[in-house]
Chain A
């Protein structure tokens, strides 16, 4: 599977990662190499095989739909790069 530079740029955009021209070139070869290597999975017949979800069968745990935690606004914004009155501050999104 060859991944060209344009595809590398497209997925970098999807992943919100700015990459330089030199990085895009290098990644083209590296990602193609890794995808070629995983191609061997095609040899495995997985018809009628369920995808694995967990090691030991277990029902999804549920809990009462009640508030058990909260009122921690100070904690939540404690590590933010920019805040104002318990809000995260970001560059203007809507004109």
Chain B
């Protein structure tokens, strides 16, 4: 039998329908790959083989009874930010300790209702704060990709898989799941997708329910998938998205058939290229990739238009007020009383302070303190309110652009994947990783990263598509055109399987 882990989600679905293999066989193939490969990659922080095999057996019965759901029998990885009933959920922070939710997040419930299988919980930066997965309490994730030297040999230097959804991106790229859930607050789906040659989509704010997802910055957080192909991402989002009365910010709008949307092609589509994204210090390879992306879309029948998004440069500094402010507020709940870690002190306040000092990592503490500072007495207007007004201007830039174009094309990241420790010494250098992706969170717009080429070091590079609110369908159309032109990119040698 062919290696079932190499299949795409769509191919696996077809194979199950044709009875070429069973959900149990498909699940076992992935569990074996995790067993062999996770030691080197650290993509999963918790394997759930018993859950997976029980779900697979139930799926096989439903397939036999011709009652298969949209993702019936398809094994997925779940980011550890999603609460999973009875299964340890930590947001990769020590402060959640051995937390076992007594409820299921809406997004994972939607996936399970559609027949999907959970292989385990995936690593991420602590509370999704980071761009390299180096802040996880479980240690960093290693990218399955390696740099190629001038002699053509693969280097042993460990590369980061991006972050915060680094477990999701690495597991998908390394075939340790067919697709994965992820979340994005400032680029945490798009940037890791770009660095691992995978497809990621962050839908419009409100498209997926945030209920049961560990909160970081509530006005920015949004769930989405990381997948092997554009079609796979469309299949995933179609199930993950829903209106949910339990999340007042979730939007009551029908979820289109994204796979059908994707097939519509890009003939006549108006593509905007924002001049403000040609930033100083952009790697020449990235600039070249962007030009290629423009050429591909043009060749597929789209028209190209230069646009201006003048407030782009203010998105990242505004983000680093809004996100820490909301994080300091959301993370106030971790007090050692109701769940998670408790480190006793001489009185209640001492217990709070000891617990939070021991439970939070360095980056989380830094953001809690910045957030507390900008929200402290006398500073609210100067920082948080100012940043929220800048958001209005960023969104207005896009509103004006939508009069001329249907979709915007930019690079996903300013540079290719980097090695462990290369940027972790300087918080600002790490924050710049998100310079192109953070605008979609600030404006609440949908964004997608599609693999588009390889750097001179042989590591993947991605292009970003930004769409109108709730127009994810157009992102899938344009993403498919780029994928058709660029092809798929996989790490080649599967060194992690040993």
Kindly state the interface size class of chain B when it binds its partner: 35 or more
Contact stretch, chosen from B6-14, B266-274, B317-325: B317-325
Minimum C-beta distance from B204 to chain A (A): 6
Complex alpha-carbon distance, A93 and B348, angstroms: 7
Minimum C-beta distance from A29 to chain B (A): 11
Minimum C-beta distance from B116 to chain A (A): 25
Mark out the residues of chain B between 352 and 395 whose CB falls within 8 Å of any chain A CB in the assembled complex: 352-354, 356-357, 360, 365-366, 368-370, 372-373, 376, 383, 385-393, 395
Pairwise interchain contact A16-B352, C-beta atoms closer than 8 A: yes
Kindly state the interface size class of chain A when it binds its partner: 35 or more
Interface string of A1-30 (1 = CB under 8 A from B): 001000110011011111100010001001
Chain A residues with CB below 8 A from B2, complex form? none
The prevalent SS among residues of A at the interface is: loop
Total CB contacts across the A-B interface at under 8 A:
161
Whether A91 touches B348, Cβ cut-off 8 Å, given contacts A41-B317, A63-B245, is yes
Chain A residues with CB below 8 A from B387, complex form? 41
Pairwise interchain contact A14-B376, C-beta atoms closer than 8 A: yes
Pairwise interchain contact A44-B311, C-beta atoms closer than 8 A: yes
Pairwise interchain contact B337-A80, C-beta atoms closer than 8 A: yes
Complex alpha-carbon distance, A8 and B320, angstroms: 18
Nearest CB in chain B to that of A15: its residue? B372
Whether A40 touches B314, Cβ cut-off 8 Å, given contacts A61-B248, A90-B348, is yes
**Central interface residue in A33, A56, A60, A82, by most chain B CB within 10 Å:** A56
Interface status of B428 (Cβ within 8 A of chain A) = yes
Pairwise interchain contact B392-A52, C-beta atoms closer than 8 A: yes
Pairwise interchain contact B390-A18, C-beta atoms closer than 8 A: no
Whether A44 touches B99, Cβ cut-off 8 Å, given contacts A3-B373, A8-B369, A60-B248, is no
Chain A residues with CB below 8 A from B427, complex form? 30, 33-34
Pairwise interchain contact B386-A78, C-beta atoms closer than 8 A: no
Pairwise interchain contact A17-B385, C-beta atoms closer than 8 A: no
Pairwise interchain contact A51-B391, C-beta atoms closer than 8 A: yes
Complex alpha-carbon distance, A51 and B386, angstroms: 8
Chain B residues with CB below 8 A from A12, complex form? 369
The one of B320, B336, B444 that contacts A55, using a Cβ cutoff of 8 Å:
B444
Chain A residues with CB below 8 A from B470, complex form? 56
Q: Which 5 A-B pairs have the closest CB atoms?
A: A55-B444, A51-B388, A79-B339, A81-B342, A75-B102
Report which B residues bind A (CB closer than 8 A): 98-100, 102-103, 204-206, 245, 248-249, 251, 311, 313-314, 317-318, 320-321, 328, 332, 335-342, 344-354, 356-357, 360, 365-366, 368-370, 372-373, 376, 383, 385-393, 395, 427-428, 443-445, 469-470
Assuming A11-B373, A16-B353, A31-B369, what are 14 further A-B pairs, CB within 8 angstroms?
A17-B365, A37-B317, A40-B313, A46-B386, A51-B385, A52-B388, A56-B206, A61-B245, A76-B338, A79-B340, A80-B337, A88-B337, A90-B337, A91-B351
